[in-house]
Amino acid sequence: MSRDNWDIPEVFRRAMEEAGWEGNKGEGNEGGEGGGQRPPFPNRPQQPRRSNRTLWIVGILFLLFISINWIVGVYTDWLWFNELNYQSVWLTTWSYKFLSFVAFFIIALLILWGNWHLARQRASKATPPFYPRFLQIRAIRWLITGGAIFLAFGFASSIAVRWDEFLLYLNRVPFGTADPIFGRDISFYLFELPVYEALQQWIVSLLLLTLIGVVAIYAVNNVVDIQRGKWRPQESVILRQHVALLAALILLLWTTSYLFQIFNLNYSGRGVVTGASYTDINASLYALYAQMAFMLLAAIVMLYNVFKLSIRPLLITAGLWLVATVLVGGIYPALLQRYEVEPNELVRETPYIQYNIDYTRLGFNLDKIEVRQFEQIDPLDQGDVAANSAVLNNIRLWDYRPLQDTYTQLQALRPYYVFGEVDIDRYVIDGQVRQVMLATRELDKSKLPSLSWVNEKLEFTHGYGIVMNPVDRFTADGQPEFFIKNLPPESNVPLQVTQPEIYYGEFTKDEVFVGSDRDEFSYPSGNENVYSSYEGTGGVPLDTFLKRLAFAVRLGDTNVLLSDEINTQTRLQIHRQIQERIQKITPFLALDSDPYIVLTDDGRLFWIQDAFTYSTRFPYATPDSQTDINYIRNSVKITIDAYNGTVNYYIADMQDPIVQSYSGAFPGLFCKPEVRCQKICNRICATRKICLPFRQNNICAIT
């Protein structure tokens, strides 16, 4: 027969007969000849069935194999957090990640599989005899189920990465300040609106994909007349009801996007400054209300189509929405901006510019600046100079940049020692406050004479000591006059370094094993080397074979298992670089680019790191041009013990709602101010200049 006269169902039937598929007896096919019963398909030869138990065992072993790195990562992370006594932080973080994923996976799976399974069942009952047999093929059912599971996994993963937004939402603290246009508390924009937008976009995308799958299932299974290319009238009711209900839900949820756009006018860039402008308030706002109303009407009309097909009202509603979008949302705001605002821009935009100034200052914590007028100052005389000698003695003459090179030339002592950026601090020396410059002496393992595993992991494990000099003194040779220098540290002032070993620093980027059977290199002494053994509490104890095995897998290093010098007293120190260490615990805090070292009264070394909370969602505030940040607070001070690696967090700004929200979410994270270690509390001072590295750029603010 000619191609134009093909009977498509008959072609499929014959192909299945040739493949050996067994068929059902049924009535004649629509458009077929004679109508009677079809002969049964011949039986396909039966293949020997494997044991279900064997298949399950193989499947489980395969899953374990592909997930071994993930399991090891979770276990070793738990050991690391446990060593730092931050188990609660780890559990809270993982709880939010896991529960977010599971909840959204279940929701996505129910929506996808439920709708597709329902479409398959309803299409099976409505289509001619051949197609129900096709629908009942096990492979098709597994394809629908497997596809739903796969897509649900992807959808859940895409939304679960925003676990930190859900955490802030559930623990949000009000700002006590409202935006100037809608009167909403600032917390709504920082904590609530991002979550609502993410959920709306997620569910709309999910329903759109569900709708596509539903239409495809109905089409493939002959609710559409394949030969004629149109819907079969008697079966299209089933499709119309299902599709109309899903489309109504999509339109209803789409309506909320216009509500979110209304609130997002606070971030508009239409005017001369960030924030809602005259045109936004007097034109765009009403356009969004109109679009939202017509979209809601479209959802209602679509819902009506579940019960009765009504195309005309739907077309009218779509036309009204299009008119509102083009005329009210596009043309009218442009005309208003051109013919009313631009000729009178200063008059029209002045109140909105003032909003921007006020809220930008508030976002960057510049709203409390006091302007003071200094009276005329009399000329200084010799008596004034003598009376203020302490001030003059603290005038900085050394520049920290060339001083770093000077430290390297005079105090590195060996090629494998390096100095980081020179810090500036103040100490009470002989009853006077002295401004000093100091830096730590750390190891650069790339310059070791031998890069063996034993040298890198067991022997050369730490830096040693600091160098300190006053900011205003020179020797006769033009060199800095050192307060603390040499190896071991020598001091000519009442400041002593009693624990000079630096296991955690700015250059300690690899893992080491301490407390092993091999002594650790401390410092050179003439032609000999001085060795020591670690006696602190830093690091994960490798006191069981399971821990050694887990870290061997994680590090990809079989020496962790094979080395005879690692014993049950050995500790593994990982994440030793101080900023990496902090980010591992609190990835939601941004860090200042320059942590600084301090020497406590009892001679121990601590790092102090400034940390920041931030947001890109502060209404009416002009964002940084490179990072989009428009709210930032230096709310957290962090201390890291250079010997033990202990990390402590202190809230420096209790007025910051973001850090209060994090404090509520992680009850054991921040130390109470009254229990702050007195040995270093006087060293936690105001930052001279905050330079925050974020997305490879710097944000600078004065505090």
In whole angstroms, give the CA distance from residue 478 to residue 480.
7
Per residue in 493-526, pLDDT tens?
999 999 999 999 999 999 999 999 999 999 998 8
Nearest to 152 by CA among 120, 122, 119, 115: 115
In contact, 23 and 13? CB cutoff 8 Å: yes
Which secondary-structure segment (H or E) carries 391?
helix 389-392
Question: What is the per-residue pLDDT for 391?
Answer: 83
Write down the pTM of the prediction.
0.84
Model confidence pLDDT, tens digit, residues 439-474: 999 999 989 888 899 999 999 999 999 999 999 998
User: How far apart (Å, rounded) are the C-alpha atoms in residues 46 and 28?
Assistant: 29
- Contacts of residue 634, defined as CB under 8 A and 6 or more positions apart, other chains included, come to 592, 610, 611, 612, 652, 653, 687, 690, 701, 703
In the chain, where the domains are located: 1-43, 84-227, 400-539, 579-701
Residue 488 has pLDDT above 90, yes or no: yes
Q: Report the percentage of the chain scoring pLDDT > 90.
A: 57
Q: At residue 28, does pLDDT exceed 50?
A: no
The pLDDT-based confidence of 685 (bands split at 50, 70, 90) is low
Beta strand 230-231 pairing with 224-225: antiparallel
On average, the pLDDT of the chain sits at: 84
**Greater pLDDT, 607 or 233:** 607
- Cα–Cα distance between 521 and 512 in angstroms, integer? 13
Q: CA 315 to CA 495: how far, in whole Å?
A: 83
Query: Which range among 119-133, 391-405, 618-632 shows the weakest confidence by mean pLDDT?
Result: 119-133
The predicted pLDDT at position 340 comes to 85
pLDDT digits (tens, 9 = 90+) for 603-624: 999 999 999 999 999 999 999 9
Q: CB-based contacts of 246: which residues, under 8 Å, 6+ apart?
A: 115, 207, 210, 211, 214
